Chains A and B, each alone.
Chain A
Amino acid sequence: RKEVEQDPGPFNVPEGATVAFNCTYSNSASQSFFWYRQDCRKEPKLLMSVYSSGNEDGRFTAQLNRASQYISLLIRDSKLSDSATYLCVVYSGNTGKLIFGQGTTLQVKP
């Protein structure tokens, strides 16, 4: 079983749609959680950290459920520029490593 699992998609949505991505992780000792964005043939870039209380950054909302070991990302009012692959990333202080999910691909169409 992969340590971090995501639905690879692709998710094809029209502009203005709301889309949600889910992620599960297997290591209950994981300490920190992130969503990264990766554009085609580029490096990943930090989109936002994820906290248990939930956090929002503009059109993006992230949620963490430690009991279920589940992370989500909600994108409201999708823009064409949101088209990318979204990576769920988990950090464990025990190992000192970031573990990346496979990524979920989003295509926003006009």
Chain B
Amino acid sequence: GAVVSQHPSWVICKSGTSVKIECRSLDFQATTMFWYRQFPKQSLMLMATSNEGSKATYEQGVEKDKFLINHASLTLSTLTVTSAHPEDSSFYICSATPRGGRALETQYFGPGTRLLVL
């Protein structure tokens, strides 16, 4: 089956630092990758959609200068949380849609990255 990895799986950082999260599709090429955020007892909320080689499309209310997304290859997308603050503490999950896949509804999810900002 299609496998998506994320690294790191968890990170603790000080307020004001930047954190980079990697999302990789291990056994397929992904034309589109999605970044979600999930706060405790809440649903997954889409933050942005990224296509390889182009700028990410951010959802309303998500600051593009704070959450930098780079989708440099068909197997790697990165999310950088710049100048992280405690309110950015959350569970960040990426997903990927296979190249040539049926539709964007087919998304394979990474295991998530738990971020805690002190």
Contacts and interface: CB of A to CB of B under 8 A. Distances in A.
Interface of A: 4, 8, 31-32, 34, 41-45, 87, 91, 93, 96-103
B49 A41 contact: no
A97 B43 contact: no
Contacts of B110: 43
A44 B104 CA distance: 16
Of the four ranges (under 10, 10 to 19, 20 to 34, 35 or more), the interface on chain B belongs to: 10 to 19
Given A8-B41, A87-B43, A100-B43, A45 B109 contact: yes
B104 A91 contact: yes
A97 B104 contact: yes
B42 interface: yes
B114 A41 contact: yes
Contacts of B103: 32, 91, 93
B49 A102 contact: no
Interface in B68-100: 91, 93
Contacts of A8: 41
B11 to A, nearest CB: 14
10 contacts: A4-B43, A32-B103, A42-B112, A43-B93, A43-B110, A91-B104, A97-B49, A98-B104, A100-B45, A102-B41
B44 A96 contact: no
A87 B93 CA distance: 15
B44 A44 contact: yes
Contacts of A41: 91, 112, 114
Nearest to B94: A43
Nearest to A96: B104
B46 interface: yes
B43 A98 contact: no
B15 interface: no
